[in-house]
Structure 1
Amino acid sequence: MSSLAARQAEAQVLTLEQAVQEALQNNYGIQVAMRQAERAELQVTRGNAGQLPSVDLNANYNASVNQAIAEFITGQTLDQTARASGLGASLRVNYTIFDGLGMFYRYERLEENAQLQQLNSRLQMENTVAQVISTYLEVLNQQQTAETAQEAVAMSAERLYRVERLLGAGQLTLLDKLNAQVDLVSDSTALLDAQLLLQQSKFNLQYLMGSSSALPELDRQIQITTGLDYDN
């Protein structure tokens, strides 16, 4: 069970801080950047810079089978098979005594590349955090818009109901009913648009969090903290 699914089992509210930590753990872009940083760090060795001897080991094995058949005038036949095999190995050690400080420059470049990848990893994390915060707030905003649109539809439906009753009593005209119907259709369309935008913003948040689980209810009491843990 994922951490998001576990939280859903315990509580139906996802806080902003939880969403950020989920993204730091599961976001694909962050994982790629961290792996690249780890590989770059592993490349920072004296051997890769050419400061250590290199060893080449070669081994080979040869085998052959020779068969000779001789037939004499006496009618006798001689059949002989000869087998031969050979095993060889060689070891070569290479070491550059001095290459004009090139080995030291290469080591510095390896270190600089590792530092650059670490910086890129950190930047990826910070960008993702900013995107999660923005998208989280967007979901809340779209939820509010959808709720407002839902209330407008309910009010328009109630208005149409009252107009139809008054029309039956002869107190209103067909034009009043038509206007009420137009308002209801307009509000219903706005509700559909708001719901689509809400679903899209929820999908975007799930993508940033690296989660395929259904998104729980978001916490509307936003608390921004600067104590985020980028290392875990």
Structure 2
Amino acid sequence: MKRNFILLVLLYSIMFQTRAQEVLTLEDALKTTLSNNFNILLARNDNNIDVENTSLGSAGMLPAVTGTFNRSNSIQNSRQVRADGQIQQISNAKNDNMSYGVNLNWTIFDGLGMFARRDRFKEIQRQGEAEIKYQVITQLSEVMATYYNLVQQKRLINALDTTIALSRYRVTLAENRLEI
């Protein structure tokens, strides 16, 4: 009795823990492709770079401010002999030097070159958006074609299984006729 109870409990625990593999729908496959495909992710990253490059500063329309700061320290030992024979010697002489500055450059007019650069950056951004659309359409069409190919293969397998079952039935009928 105990043994039967333990076997029954183990059987129920195994039944509740095992799960069948979930059926992949076309929508799930497309969502996974959109979120995990590297070609699409790379196209989106490139487009983000293009969006950042399409700015007034990248086109050269804004002033450029640069700053510099330099600091150097040195310790020197020096020995100097003068013309009158006197020796001057300094040990561990420290030298501190610091320089800094700010520079502002602004091109007021460069023959409309800055406007041409800005238009070029905008066109590159539009090309990046078109590349994203191309990658999305290409990858989704490949996933759909593969999915429907698998569905077709599964239906073909089911049809072949039915054909085999019918053939076995015919063989059984033929054997029965032969015996009769």
TM-score (norm 1): 0.55
Matching residue's letter, 1:22: T
Partners in 1 of 2:57 and 2:70 — Cα distance? 27
Q: 1:144 aligns with which of 126, 140, 155?
A: 155
Matching residue's letter, 1:33: A
Partners in 1 of 2:91 and 2:164 — Cα distance? 102
* 1:124 to partner: Cα distance: 1.0
Partners in 2 of 1:19 and 1:64 — Cα distance? 66
Q: Which has the larger radius of gyration?
A: 2
Partners in 2 of 1:116 and 1:48 — Cα distance? 18
State the aligned residue count: 147
- Counterparts of 1:43-54 in structure 2, within 5 Å, are 43-54=53-64
Q: 1:97 aligns with which of 103, 108, 126?
A: 108
* 1:79 to partner: Cα distance: 6.4
Would the alpha carbon gap of residues 39 and 154 (structure 1) be closer, same or farther in structure 2, given more than 3 Å must change? same
- Find the counterpart in structure 1 of residue 76 from structure 2: 66
What CA deviation, in whole Å up to 9, does each residue of 1:72-113 have, x standing for no partner? Answer: xxxxxx763211111111221111110110001101111111
What SS does the corresponding residue of 1:58 show, helix, strand or coil?
Answer: strand
Partners in 1 of 2:140 and 2:32 — Cα distance? 10
Would the alpha carbon gap of residues 97 and 69 (structure 1) be closer, same or farther in structure 2, given more than 3 Å must change? closer
What CA deviation, in whole Å up to 9, does each residue of 1:191-221 have, x standing for no partner? Answer: xxxxxxxxxxxxxxxxxxxxxxxxxxxxxxx
Structure with larger RCO (C-alpha < 8 A, sep 6+):
1
* 1:142 to partner: Cα distance: 2.0
Would the alpha carbon gap of residues 28 and 80 (structure 1) be closer, same or farther in structure 2, given more than 3 Å must change? closer
Unaligned runs of 5+ in 1: 1-8, 71-77, 172-232
Q: Percent identity?
A: 27
* 1:56 to partner: Cα distance: 2.0
What CA deviation, in whole Å up to 9, does each residue of 1:149-203 have, x standing for no partner? Answer: 55667788x69x98xxx9xxxx9xxxxxxxxxxxxxxxxxxxxxxxxxxxxxxxx
- Find the counterpart in structure 2 of residue 106 from structure 1: 117
* 2:31 aligned with 1:21: yes
- Find the counterpart in structure 1 of residue 95 from structure 2: 84
Give 1 or 2: higher helix fraction: 2
* 1:130 to partner: Cα distance: 1.3
What SS does the corresponding residue of 1:13 show, helix, strand or coil?
Answer: coil
What SS does the corresponding residue of 1:12 show, helix, strand or coil?
Answer: coil
Would the alpha carbon gap of residues 114 and 79 (structure 1) be closer, same or farther in structure 2, given more than 3 Å must change? closer
- Find the counterpart in structure 1 of residue 13 from structure 2: none
* 1:58 to partner: Cα distance: 1.9
TM-score (norm 2): 0.69
Matching residue's letter, 2:75: V
What SS does the corresponding residue of 1:67 show, helix, strand or coil?
Answer: strand
Unaligned runs of 5+ in 2: 1-18, 81-88
Partners in 2 of 1:80 and 1:15 — Cα distance? 83
- Find the counterpart in structure 2 of residue 38 from structure 1: 48
